Amino acid sequence: MTKSSQLLLSFCSLFFSITQAQVKNTDPLYKTIMSKDSLFFSAGYNTCNIGKMESMLSDTFEFYHDKGGFENKEKFIIDFKNGLCKSPETYQLKRVLVKKSTEIYPMYKDGKIYAAIQNGDHLFYEKAGDQAEKLVGEAKFTHLWILDNAEWKLKNSLSFNHYPKQTTDSETMFDNDQSMQSWLKENNIPTLGLGIIEGGKLQQVKVFGEVKKGVSAPLNACFNVASLTKPVTAMVALRLVSLGKWKLDEPLDAYWTDPDIINDPRHQKLTTRIILSHQSGFPNWRWMNTDKKLNFQFDPGTKYQYSGEGFEYLRKALEKKFEKTLDELATELIFKPFKMNNTNYIWDQNVDESRFVTGYNEKGVAYPIEKIKTANAADDLHTTVEDYGNFMVSVMKGKNLKPEVFREMIKKQVKVKENKYFGLGFEIYDLGNGEYVLSHGGADQGTRCIALVVPESGKGIIIFTNIDDGYKVYEKLVLHYLGKEGQKIVDIESK
């Protein structure tokens, strides 16, 4: 055998011995570490027995927390005394090990065990005063136990991947309509429309509050969803691309050129792809410019800048090409196929004003209802929670789109911020490991709305509110209904 072959054989032997290093739950080491875990948490952490906890820590103990940072033994004990165990009679936090989540790996030196690694998941429950105990969070952990003078001590503790977790008890705030109404009142939210997607289907539709003062909102209450209009317009264009009637990268000047930019050769660079990914170079709205005219603020296709004008530009090109209005195209391609019978770009005879939700400013003053007669590709769509929820289900499944067109839609066309991008008509949150979220928001006077779907898990949430600061309820709702995916979204937005 050659020297290189011997080295390879030695490496392979070492590798395979490592991959089989996890001990079985019947092994004495497994039982010993589990006993130590139980003693540390049950007799120490959960009952605030500081002396018992401290006796089980190595003198060089180190604690690493993905939210709270690093602590040595001294600081860990001080913070524990002055934090979780400051008033155990009024507040308690309990840690519970998730069954069958534990893995134990022995560490050897010269053929003798000197340490063990413990991996697992744990849940956290809190109890305040006389209230019922409730589940509040979940996390992963890694512990390094070492043999110190023949006694097992905890040397390192890593606690990570924390995310909120609500109890499934039917009396939780978000699953109890009366509790939800109280919470909305506390947050000064007159009306909330909520759609919950699970298993790739719209499973729940709830509407709380009033369409106007003194009139309760029905389940099919109609909301102005502001910029949630844009994803619908995007799907009209992508559906046409799938049918072979429109091209993503064809210059739009073949059909339309705005008079304000006709003398700027950069208009020749405008395409559907560039507009749907917000790389047109236009301002959000031309009226924001001093001269109220449309202009390029940078070369198209070079960077991201959110623009409603871009979508209006696309509308005019589509209407010129097909000799139909956008609302006619949307009815034919989206609303009828997806059975969105209560959705419209314009205010016409089909709008039931008695179901239309009034919008308010933060002081509770009502805004007048705008009765738009001409479709705006970027704004003022009228819809219900059920219609838009089913629309988002269709979106995440790529319904009525060719696979190659769907892939372009979810492709990261341009970066917005770290782990956040724009695809074609939708924001994309990169959650890691191939998991992503498709999202869009809407904000106008008297309306704050958001829609998010997670194609990998088949989950999603639709949130419609009718007040200028309605966004303040987004985070809790997203965290509750989307769990760890929701936490990742919140983390990305907070950076």
Give 207-225 pLDDT, tens digit per residue.
999 999 999 999 999 999 9
CA-CA distance, 147 to 132, in Å (whole number)?
A: 40
Residue 354, both tokens: 């008695």
The pLDDT of residue 101 is above 50 = yes
Strands 91-97 and 103-109, how do they pair?
unpaired
Q: Tokens 């001093």 appear where?
A: 290
The pLDDT of residue 262 is above 80 = yes
- Residues 6 or more apart from 422 whose CB is under 8 A from it? 277, 278, 304, 412, 413, 414, 416, 428
Q: How many CB atoms lie within 10 A of CB 354?
A: 11
- Residues 6 or more apart from 276 whose CB is under 8 A from it? 234, 237, 238, 314, 413, 423, 424, 425
Q: Tokens 């623009």 appear where?
A: 307
Strand partners, 118: 104, 143
Strands 57-65 and 151-164, how do they pair?
parallel
**CA distance readout (Å), 267 to 276, 313, 431:** 15, 11, 35
- How confident is the model at residue 103, as a pLDDT? 94
The pLDDT of residue 100 is above 80 = no
73-80 LR contacts (CB < 8 Å, sep 24+): 77/50, 77/53, 80/50, 80/53
- How confident is the model at residue 478, as a pLDDT? 93
User: What number of CA atoms fall less than 13 Å from residue 415's CA on the CB side?
Assistant: 4
- Residues 6 or more apart from 330 whose CB is under 8 A from it? 232, 233, 236, 345, 375
Burial per residue of 87-106, b for 16 or more beta-carbon CB atoms within 10 angstroms, e otherwise: eeeeebbbbebeeeebebeb
Reported pTM? 0.69
User: What rounded mean pLDDT belongs to the chain?
Assistant: 91
449: nearest Cα among 150, 66, 130, 192: 192
Q: What percent of the chain has pLDDT over 70?
A: 93
